[in-house]
A and B are shown apart, each in its own frame.
Chain A
């Protein structure tokens, strides 16, 4: 669905807000202030003040909190620039040509972006994939397959680098070497530890990591909804894979609708709590997709050639057909009229070919099996 623009064009940063070198430096300091809401800053900026003029107001105590005032006095743009160099990040400000056009039209656009990695994608070449942190194995597979499908035709996959669906989307894109972009809810240097750090480093190598916060800002949950507007804003379309009630993916989907972008959702069983957001969005008019192929067809890009036909024995094909959702092995045995041991044997052979997976003592068909057998 193409969302209707509710509320029309919003007030945005005036041209020239960050034009001069001094303004650019001031913008960095302004982006680090926690007590100054963007809305209040925007009110002053739209009266024709530049970033350095606004910063001067903060230093005089007329704008922002007293803490901001202290902070703004001590901090200069130079300190932030040094930090940027240290983590290999660059800045893209409102008046730069490199500022993504599609981001200019969103509600409350960031006046500065901190970027590590390559160039930011153009609007027509970026799609967001979002969903639950706590997801099912199937959801993870779906996100990965969609990410893979998009990246393999050169569409940038944008997500939030969180665990679950986000990571799976990035991973799918990284399998074909990107491109993929992660929008973080903290500084671009706060990359976390372990597997998350390695994921972020790979995204930097095969795309970009973006944030509106300067390096050193910790990734804290209250910033994530704000981050989601950038995820939706960077893309021509947003895909929601799984999301429970109250999940951030509903926020991202709503943002996308509000910005007039396309929204796609992968449905699930209505009884599954993780289907809440996708089904809700579909009811509100989002386009239902069954997987990467549907999406690529709707986006009008050519799909890479499909998977080869499966070479299954009759018994294996029958076992695969008997799996309707998570199924107990004894059900499979009964349906095939074989002993339990034989059913287990068949299922394990299918599992080893990546067509079946065991979840909590039951067996279900993987995406690979459903995609190829129809």
Chain B
């Protein structure tokens, strides 16, 4: 007696179609799983039988072998319970096999036979759609999420009994209602209008949003670094549907999707500096989960107290910053997660935090400040185009400052600047200035001769390095885009040069 159904194994964010074969033969009652099941899938062995019996169905009291194919793919995720159960039921002819092969099955079973919400169902539905199947059978709680995929029938079953009933023709699933999107891109809980003063930081963040640049905010405690970083998300252009699907998919795989609605708001992730490497970059021993860098995909990854993060965590950020993805390798196999985020890092200017603050004295020893700055100026800093000192404002400076411009108006300018970039870089595969590689950036910048002279002078006078040169160039390009200018002029370069940190204090030219 033989049965065959489709399941989906989610590796990383991608679902892979798995053939689940069940054979019932002679021998002592037992269930054997073959075909490289991962640890959560092994668990299904003991879960499926009670679930089947609770659903009022019969478990064949013979030797049952379930094989998962292709055998070279490691089967991950708790969603394999339902296909294993359906395979056995098909083999024991308790489910008519006529339509079984047109559906993919995914979902975790409880011992009472109910289907519980399972992570990664959006990836399951996408895989089924890619494979050209007619529909998916998933837990009822995940039905809205699966419904985000167009052109596929979603059967949201509350329990195993209903899933079987659907194929017997005795139960009809309710028509899934389209879940409303979470956030429409305008419903942020914070707004730039609430920020008083900090004009340079506001302008710098507008430039960052317009060019997709990473930002470092350096300032004493209480300067408002976190407040500013949170509001960067509110001026980024709205997510496109594809982007929103990617974001939703990642949150689904991580099990963080509440009601299965499409996530339309750009994510803002702010891991604590004690975060472990797997939690930041993705991984985990039993089941590969996306890390904070991937949960921040298409959004903002905010690292407060950058200097407190472990060194290997900082080093680990280089790959995602470079490639927009992370590859997580474990003994269990490797998985790739998208991770294209805007990095916003915040740090104190010195160990005590008050260096350069006119209102408070810095208590750090000179060589410790030097060592701290040295640590700050590592390879990560080369990936951060905008480096900004955020001063702590005195009462006098705050008084008389009107509430700032609202986020919506800033976003209009950002979107216009992004349009210009999309237009210019059509066909290159790069969406914005920040992601342009150096040589291409130099070619595309269209600098006037005055701009070129000024940038060359900066190398001499401000000690600009080669990488610093490229960073200033890209930022100048964005400043020009915000100004609606085709060419990069000297003024654009000069403004770009104001968004860099003066790490080399004390090497000032002689006065006199």
Binding site for B on A (CB under 8 A): 133-134, 137, 140-142, 144-145, 148-149, 163-164, 172, 175, 244, 272-274, 292, 307, 325-326, 328-331, 333, 340-342, 344-349, 351-354, 357-362, 366-368, 371
Contacts and interface: CB of A to CB of B under 8 A. Distances in A.
Interface in B203-235: 203, 219-220, 223
Contact of A134 (B362, B389, B508): B362
A354 B508 contact: yes
Given A328-B391, A361-B389, A367-B511, A341 B362 contact: no
Given A340-B203, A342-B491, A352-B461, A134 B512 contact: no
Contact of A141 (B367, B389, B511): B511
A172 B510 contact: yes
B35 interface: no
Contact of A292 (B361, B393, B512): B512
B371 to A, nearest CB: 12
A359 B203 contact: no
Given A137-B505, A346-B494, A371-B512, 20 more contacts: A137-B508, A148-B510, A163-B366, A164-B366, A175-B510, A292-B512, A307-B512, A341-B203, A342-B491, A344-B200, A344-B495, A347-B498, A348-B495, A352-B497, A354-B508, A354-B509, A357-B508, A360-B219, A361-B389, A361-B391
Nearest to B363: A134
Give me the 7 closest cross-chain CB pairs, A-B, nearest first.
A360-B356, A361-B391, A367-B511, A330-B199, A361-B389, A345-B494, A344-B498
Interface string B480-512: 000100000001001101100010011011111
29 contacts: A134-B362, A137-B505, A137-B506, A141-B508, A142-B511, A144-B510, A144-B511, A145-B512, A148-B510, A172-B510, A175-B510, A325-B358, A328-B393, A329-B200, A341-B479, A344-B203, A346-B494, A347-B498, A348-B495, A348-B497, A349-B454, A352-B458, A354-B508, A359-B356, A360-B220, A360-B358, A360-B389, A361-B391, A368-B512
B322 interface: no
Contacts of B505: 137
Contact of A367 (B458, B483, B512): B512
A270 B4 CA distance: 86
A149 B495 contact: no
A69 to B, nearest CB: 38
Contacts of B512: 145, 148-149, 292, 307, 367-368, 371
A164 B509 CA distance: 16
A244 B361 CA distance: 10
A272 B362 CA distance: 12
Most chain B CB neighbours (cut-off 10 Å) among A273, A333, A362? A362
A361 B457 contact: no
B355 interface: yes
Most chain B CB neighbours (cut-off 10 Å) among A274, A341, A349? A341
Nearest to B391: A361
Given A141-B511, A348-B497, A273 B197 contact: no
Given A330-B200, A352-B462, A145 B511 contact: yes
Contacts of B356: 359-361
Nearest to A357: B508
Most chain B CB neighbours (cut-off 10 Å) among A164, A342, A358? A358
A366 B502 CA distance: 15
A62 to B, nearest CB: 43
Contacts of A328: 197, 199-200, 391, 393, 397
A325 to B, nearest CB: 7
A145 B512 CA distance: 6
B28 interface: no
Contacts of B361: 244, 273-274
B484 to A, nearest CB: 13
Interface string B139-166: 0000000000000000000000000000
A149 B510 CA distance: 11
A106 B502 CA distance: 44
B349 interface: yes
B203 A134 contact: no
B358 A326 contact: yes
B498 A360 contact: no
Interface string B346-390: 000100000111100110111100000000000000000000111
A333 B357 CA distance: 21
A134 B366 contact: yes
Nearest to B220: A360
A210 B510 CA distance: 27
Contact of A140 (B203, B355, B508): B508
Contacts of A329: 199-200, 498
A47 B362 CA distance: 51
Contacts of A172: 510
Contacts of B219: 360-361
A358 B502 contact: yes
Given A340-B199, A341-B479, A351-B462, A361 B390 contact: yes
A347 B199 CA distance: 15
A18 to B, nearest CB: 38
A329 to B, nearest CB: 5
A113 B372 CA distance: 38
A330 B495 CA distance: 13
Contacts of A353: 461
Given A325-B358, A352-B461, A361-B391, A345 B495 contact: yes
B355 A360 contact: yes
A329 B203 CA distance: 11
Nearest to B460: A352
A237 B389 CA distance: 40
Contacts of A134: 362, 364-366
Nearest to B400: A334
Nearest to B349: A360
A315 to B, nearest CB: 12
Contacts of A368: 509, 511-512
A163 B367 contact: yes
B392 to A, nearest CB: 8
B8 to A, nearest CB: 52
A357 B391 CA distance: 15
Contacts of A272: 358
A175 B497 CA distance: 29
Nearest to B511: A367
A344 B366 contact: no
Nearest to B354: A360
A340 B207 CA distance: 13
Contacts of B388: 361
Contacts of A137: 505-506, 508
Given A163-B367, A344-B494, A366 B462 contact: no
A191 to B, nearest CB: 16
A44 B203 CA distance: 74
B348 to A, nearest CB: 11
B154 to A, nearest CB: 51
B376 to A, nearest CB: 15
Contact of B506 (A140, A149, A331): A140
Given A140-B506, A164-B366, A352-B457, A366 B498 contact: no
Contacts of B458: 352
Most chain A CB neighbours (cut-off 10 Å) among B203, B364, B367, B506? B506
Nearest to A368: B511
Nearest to A133: B366
A351 to B, nearest CB: 7
Contacts of A140: 506, 508
Interface string B388-421: 1111010001000000000000000000000000
